[in-house]
Structure 1
Amino acid sequence: MEFLRSVCPHDCPDTCGLLVGREGGRVVSVRGDPDHPFTRGAVCVKVAHYPERIYSPLRVTRPLRRTGKKGEGRFAPISWDEALDEIAQRYMEIAHKYGPEAILPYSYAGTMGLVHFHGGHAFFHRLGATRLKRTICSSAVEAGFAVTFGRIPTTDIESTVHSDLIIIWGSNTISTNMHAWPFFLEARRRGAIIAVIDPYRNRTARQADIHIQLRPGTDAALAMSIMSVLVEEGLIDKDFIKTHTVGFERLKPRLADYTPAKVKGLTAIPESAIREIARLYGKARAPYIRLGWGPGRQLRGGMAVRTIAVLPALIGATKKKGGGITRSTSAAFDLNLKPLTREDLGPQGVRSVNMVELGNALLRLDDPPVMAMHVYHSNPAVVAPQSAMVMKGLSREDLFTVVQEHLLTETALYADLVLPGASFLESTDLYRSYGHYYLQMANPVIEPVGEARPTLEIFKALAGRMGFSDDCFKMTEEAIIREMLKTDSPYLRGINYEELRTGRPVRLRVPENPLEGGFKTPSGKVEIYSQTLADQGLDPLPDGTPSLDVEGMGKYPLQLITPPRHQFLNSTFNEIEDLREQAGMPSLMIHPRDAEQRGIKSGMEVRVWNDRGECFLNADVTDRTGLGVTVIEGLYWPRFMKGNLGINQLTSQCLTDMGESCAFHCNLVEVGVARQLPADEVGL
């Protein structure tokens, strides 16, 4: 057996370096690359099972044409020429009859490889199709943080070994950012305290020294309350505030409304606990915040993140070795994507559809209606909110749906044509990270399984059939990567293709403290007061108003959050039986008092519902979650849940205050003991 270098392609900040075992032309093992400076030879429980994913019985190895009703999963194999000819013909007919905006691409982070993530962009721009706003995950967090700091690289997690206080805010690090945890543990070995702020006691909270269990949607109120203590007790860095921030004096009067005594009821955090974490933060030598995605997945998520981001500025944490804040490292990977995406090929004024609002787009959009959808690197039947509407839209017989996939997923079951996509082990790509500062390239480890093709190759073939002759449709993966490296970014200076093609991680030219160089806001400072927000008619100051599910207010008493499950990554890895067995039955965490009021005991099947939909789960009565708060860790494919009803039946298409993202953690529901489902409704 030989081992070849590769890179994990999944939507995770760690972007692991891998060693892939190959024998007889097949992948037989996947393990971590011990030479990677950040991931250091470890892989998560999910990626360790990758050979089972590559050779899954659900793997699509030939183009398929639907022969039954949508959703039945009955298909017949056809040739690539037949499939591509049919797609091109249907797209031309739809564009002629309705206009090209009747065609909707739908893709996201099924791969984080830059070539294939963007592999269809130029095609759909050239076609004049509706443009997709790819905002479902991180846009609120990005927008909120940028208001305060600008779009800049943030604190290097590797430097946190020098911190004496690590606050993990809204991130289950052990499950979703596992390679950061050893750095945090090293800091603890040197004397640091690890605190977790999260609505439920997840794996990371159970390993922390302190767990602040706040009510969902009150992150901004907690941050404001911490600020009030810092100011009240003189724990702020006045020199840093004077030199590097704008708007502090405007903020101070507002803090009077957020003292620990005033917010303890709102946040469900005792006054003493708020004061304790504030004092620890204000007195620490090098305090550090790992800011996760949880706070941003609320309707006021942008404001929550923007408010939390003010905290390091009040105490000058960004100038201290080991201190600061990590939101994302992605701003340092300023690669040249224009030759790949080619936005210039499209006509002006083309409409956009937000991917969060897919259900609305498929059922309500007109002038023109969506008559074709091309799905790649995504599984919207599982991941898109308000699933009932999405599934109704996917069931439309007049909707021509193409799905490029590795596996016969829930979305693929509704396709008219399924195209077999190559995996990351069967294609070439370049990978940036949003959790560390190493750029990596991966070459194919095996030949594509069956007739699978890489994303870029599929769209180049379609472009040829559509008569698109632009140069971008002739470029190879290597040529595109070479073009990406043509950038004037100081972070990428001197990095070349020859160095990357070895497969070894290449460190960006990022300083030890990326935040020492200043802030990329209009003022060049940390903006406590934001004129940008004021110009948009938004509150220019941090604000602690909680996020609430406005559609469920007055109807449903329990909050619901839907964080990731340790064994899955969004909807990926459901196909692996061993991981499903480790994950156990889909379950709902509910507080003992809430359960008692409803006659619910652990192990009972419960129905969870609101006006958007319902699903059925096993009850887990536990104090790991707070009173009035329920938790469903996901995402299970609906076929593995009762009634084929997934968790996103309960989530909303309402958009966040900034970034137009999805408020996956902002839901109101009711829970009750389930009725017995008829046998033909049971999806197990």
Structure 2
Amino acid sequence: MSQMGTELKEREKSIFDTQCPFCSVQCKMQVVEDTDQNRRKTYTVIAKPNAASEGRLCIKGMNAYQHALTAERILRPMARVDGQLVPVTWEEAYERIKAKFSELCNRYGSDSIGVYGGGSLTNESGYLLGKFARVALQTKYIDYNGRFCMSAAASAGNKTFGMDRGLTNPLSDIALAKCIILAGTNIAECQPTLMPYFTRAKENGAYIIVIDPRETGTTAIADLHLKVKPGMDAALANGMQKVLLEEGLLDKKFLTDRTVGFEELRAHLQQLDLEEIAELTGVPSESIRKAANAYGKSSTGMIFTARGVEQQTDGYMAVRSFLNLVLMTGKIGKPGSGYGAVTGQGNGQGGREHGQKADQLPGYRMIDNPDHRAYVAGVWGIDPRDLPGKGVSAYEMMEKVHQEEIRALFVMGSNPLVSNPNADFVEEGLKKLDFLVVADMFLSETARLADLILPVSAYIENEGTLTNMEGRVLLREANRPVPGEAKHDWQILSGIADQLGKGKYFDFGSSEEIFNELRLASKGGIADYYGITYDRLRKEEGIYWPCPTVEDKSTGRLFESSFAHSSGKAEIVCVENHLPDEPTNEQYPLTLTTGRVLTHYLTGVQTRRSHTLAARDFESFVEIHPRTARKLGIKDASLVRLESRRGDIVVRSRYRADIREDTVFVPMHWGDIQNVNKITNPALDPTCRMPGFKSCAVRMTMLYPGS
């Protein structure tokens, strides 16, 4: 290449500092955009050193730039005219929203408009979305897809400890744990850049127990794999508690000084029969005893739960059952000991802290608490009486849509048609709406039904903060120009608010300005961000909350001397052995459970538009044990119909000799005829309103044999 060509190449190289948009680790990276001598764009992704991922990236992060650059991006507002989506100007889009929202509000009241958010939005966008719903629209109906991710663990943490933050200690503590329980979490595929923490612990002598009905990349590192029946995690934890009690593996001083409720638990456990629990869970009693002894006798230990435990109709109590194990042994508040709720979405933690949930205001304040309402209303400059009350959970919003109580829906950063259970029911409801607005980068399954689509910026273009799984707030730099006419989430919300006559409450010129208001709104709350600033984040990389002052230097370890309840003590509770909401029978003889695969993320709207990732897993599948398949006449690699009481899907069979014979598994990343949530159970946990995704009764028939 000539010297001039070399200079051209150097001149046209752009470096974008950012972080992966996918899971809750939030790995830091650089995307280098280069132009070769033929003026073709090439891209290189470089992992950046950071405290969470330690400079690692997984296959999703390495290829995340592909969906941001694809030609499938929506670059102009699109409105439905005569049944077709056609380009319109932003002015026209805003005018349509103003006219329709005003009409519906005048006719049916402000609660006829619902707002549906997402756990991948930045803290600034999530905060502003909550404010937008309650100030600009004055509706009580707002919730988000994080309800399906963290609500069980969040509710359990709040009730047990007095606060909810993903991990009670930093990730670096994992290497110090001598026993680790991974319950319903497949770290190897869902948060793969964390796996070295666990292999390091194993090298240091840790005994690892994995609880999962299937064998996975995570069970491969286990010293003990408890292949539990789907939905029976609470009972399994009860069995382990009973063994701890019988073996005397208790921290009596910790129980006396720092907990309440143990005597009631003791009486409850004494009534349980370990052999009955073994029968209920499908885990032999000797394995339950072995697991309990390993955890109880270890000097340090950590327990992690994720969707396998939490996405149940008793998910809240199942998590509390595992938290009883933590408290009975005093393994919390010290190096190498603690609890972790493995957040799924990139900002699943921050997304629930600042107002997207139906019952919450910024700082983890509660919307039905008069003092909390007064404080936030003061920050927002409104009368507390003008703040709407508590709404309903995400799936219950879909029920309100179906009942036509919610007549218009504003969706941002989510794909509810694929992520909700009972998806056919959800689709019927969305089609009834008078007006559906979707803010998205792509024509998702939900956006295809929209009356108006608003194009949004991608992660590499949209600056803001996100809170990773350990409660560490990170600043995502984003300096790539926004393509076409796309706008940042916060710009869209501010623009609509201005059209609705509420612009003075949304007069922001940058994400940092929004964050500074968020800091004030969170001040004094459980999730206190007041001491966190953009300047500090740039200098310190990440800061743990709570952070009440700019001088605060938290280590990330919680509950070293007391818990967050006013008493300073944690609450132990008795947990009943809960059977799945939908048992199998002769008509539906198999239990379906769902989950993720390494190459895809959530409903696949982004990862299925990455050619590298889509090529790795281009279609959905159902894992089935070969013996079960032969009994049903199902051949390997065949197209099969999987049916529940709610609907059916068509996927390809995949023999797996390491799954339970009574269980089948389908990933959650595909829509349309492969959308597993067409058949999942919409029954909700009575406390946290989490749907029972992880267990429903199904049957299977072969359509076309494999090649």
Q: Is residue 518 from structure 1 mapped to residue 562 from structure 2 by the alignment?
A: yes
Please name the residue that 1:653 is paired with. 682
2: CA distance between counterparts of 1:467 and 1:56? 36
Question: Secondary structure of 1:514's match?
Answer: coil
2: CA distance between counterparts of 1:673 and 1:257? 46
Question: Secondary structure of 1:179's match?
Answer: helix
Equivalent AA in structure 2 for residue 392 of structure 1: E
How far is the alpha carbon of 1:179 from its aligned partner?
A: 3.1
Equivalent AA in structure 2 for residue 313 of structure 1: L
Please name the residue that 1:143 is paired with. 155
| 1:267-286 → structure 2 map (5 Å cutoff) | 267-286=281-300
Please name the residue that 2:127 is paired with. 118
Q: 1:522 to 1:488 in 2, by over 3 A?
A: closer
Equivalent AA in structure 1 for residue 229 of structure 2: R
Please name the residue that 1:205 is paired with. 219
How far is the alpha carbon of 1:381 from its aligned partner?
A: 1.6
Equivalent AA in structure 1 for residue 436 of structure 2: T
| 1:31-430 → structure 2 map (5 Å cutoff) | 31=45, 33-67=47-81, 69=83, 74-111=84-121, 113-125=122-134, 126-134=136-144, 135-153=147-165, 154-327=168-341, 330=349, 338=376, 347=386, 352-365=391-404, 369-396=405-432, 399-430=434-465
Q: Is the 8 A contact 1:30 1:49 kept in 2?
A: no
Question: Secondary structure of 2:97's match?
Answer: helix
Q: Is the 8 A contact 1:30 1:51 kept in 2?
A: no
How far is the alpha carbon of 1:309 from its aligned partner?
A: 0.5
Q: Deviations for 1:126-157, whole angstroms, at most 9, x for unmatched residues?
A: 32234123323211221123322221541222
How far is the alpha carbon of 1:305 from its aligned partner?
A: 0.4
Question: Secondary structure of 2:653's match?
Answer: strand
2:647 counterpart (613, 621, 624) = 613
Q: Deviations for 1:383-420, whole angstroms, at most 9, x for unmatched residues?
A: 11111111122233x62111111011111111111111
Question: Secondary structure of 1:606's match?
Answer: strand
1: CA distance between counterparts of 2:674 and 2:380? 36
How far is the alpha carbon of 1:331 from its aligned partner?
A: 8.7
Please name the residue that 1:8 is paired with. 20
Question: Secondary structure of 1:253's match?
Answer: helix
Q: Which sits farther off after the overlay, 142-151 or 414-423? A: 142-151
Q: 1:242 to 1:518 in 2, by over 3 A?
A: same
Please name the residue that 2:593 is paired with. 561
2: CA distance between counterparts of 1:268 and 1:93? 56
Q: Is the 8 A contact 1:21 1:27 kept in 2?
A: no
Please name the residue that 1:681 is paired with. none
Q: 1:244 to 1:615 in 2, by over 3 A?
A: same
Q: Is the 8 A contact 2:626 2:657 kept in 1?
A: yes
Q: Is the 8 A contact 2:138 2:387 kept in 1?
A: no
Q: Is the 8 A contact 1:128 1:346 kept in 2?
A: no
Q: 1:136 to 1:507 in 2, by over 3 A?
A: closer
2: CA distance between counterparts of 1:657 and 1:206? 35
1: CA distance between counterparts of 2:383 and 2:29? 36
Please name the residue that 1:575 is paired with. 609
Q: 1:497 to 1:579 in 2, by over 3 A?
A: closer
Please name the residue that 1:641 is paired with. none
Q: Which sits farther off after the overlay, 254-263 or 603-612? A: 254-263
User: In the comparison of the two structures, how many residue pairs are matched?
Assistant: 648
Q: TM-score, normalised by structure 2?
A: 0.85
Q: Is residue 544 from structure 1 mapped to residue 590 from structure 2 by the alignment?
A: no
2: CA distance between counterparts of 1:375 and 1:139? 20
2:692 counterpart (648, 658, 663) = 663
Question: Secondary structure of 2:460's match?
Answer: helix
2: CA distance between counterparts of 1:224 and 1:553? 26
Q: Is the 8 A contact 1:20 1:445 kept in 2?
A: no
How far is the alpha carbon of 1:213 from its aligned partner?
A: 0.7
Q: 1:420 to 1:156 in 2, by over 3 A?
A: same
Please name the residue that 1:586 is paired with. 620
Please name the residue that 1:451 is paired with. 485
Question: Secondary structure of 1:653's match?
Answer: strand
Structure 2 unaligned segments of length 5 or more: list them. Answer: 1-12, 344-348, 355-361, 364-375, 546-552
Structure 1 unaligned segments of length 5 or more: list them. Answer: 530-540, 639-643, 677-684
Question: Secondary structure of 2:157's match?
Answer: helix
Question: Secondary structure of 1:446's match?
Answer: coil
Equivalent AA in structure 1 for residue 152 of structure 2: A
Please name the residue that 1:476 is paired with. 510
Question: Secondary structure of 1:479's match?
Answer: helix
Please name the residue that 1:628 is paired with. 662
Equivalent AA in structure 1 for residue 632 of structure 2: R
Q: Is the 8 A contact 1:103 1:370 kept in 2?
A: yes
How far is the alpha carbon of 1:576 from its aligned partner?
A: 2.2
Question: Secondary structure of 2:237's match?
Answer: helix
Equivalent AA in structure 1 for residue 625 of structure 2: H
Q: Is the 8 A contact 2:17 2:478 kept in 1?
A: no
1: CA distance between counterparts of 2:656 and 2:251? 41
Question: Secondary structure of 1:183's match?
Answer: helix
2: CA distance between counterparts of 1:149 and 1:498? 31
Question: Secondary structure of 1:574's match?
Answer: helix
